[in-house]
Amino acid sequence: MDLHFPEAPPSLDDYMEMIRLKTAALMGLSCQVGALMAGSTPEVQEKARIFGSLLGTAFQLQDDVLGVWGEEAEMGKTANDLDERKWGLPVVLAMEKDPRVAELLTSPLRSDSAIGYQAATAELQSFLETLDIEVEARSQPPGRTT
């Protein structure tokens, strides 16, 4: 399930909130229920939830990086987040540095033809390389998602 930002492209804060409400919440609850089923105290259950939330956040950030730069042999799937126009971490970071990135993703003229779409994807990849987004995306701390 992807959450959409219909009004405007998401800020980094919006994006991190999406992760907190989605992947981090799922992993946090899973770890908390595991601790509950193991008969742990409420304090241990809460620590398990926090651990799972942080794990879920780190997982999603890494998944976003691999969705752009990952190798099929490494991931078991192709890195096609740019082709699918996903608002992943690399794109959100790039938009903060250069608003033209959002234009590439949202312009209807870019999606009218396969050639225009491919050109926009290549241009977006070029933006990410020029802005050195891979290094920045790979160094994002997961943050506290309690």
pLDDT of residue 145: 43
* pLDDT tens over the chain, length 146 residues: 455 555 567 888 988 999 999 999 999 999 999 999 999 999 999 999 999 999 999 999 888 888 877 777 776 766 677 767 677 888 888 888 877 777 776 665 555 555 555 666 677 777 677 766 766 777 766 554 44
Q: What pTM was computed for the model? A: 0.72
- Length of the chain (residues): 146
What is the distance between the alpha carbons of residues 66 and 90, in angstroms, rounded to a whole number? 10
Do the beta carbons of residue 127 and residue 98 sit within 8 Å?
A: yes
Domain segments of the chain as ranges: 12-138
How confident is the model at residue 146, as a pLDDT? 44
Domain 12-138 belongs in CATH node 1.10.600.10 = yes
The confidence score (pLDDT) of residue 95 equals 82
Distances (CA, A) of 128 to 69, 97, 123, 136: 10, 10, 9, 10
Containing H/E element for 65?
helix 42-69
AA letter at 1: M
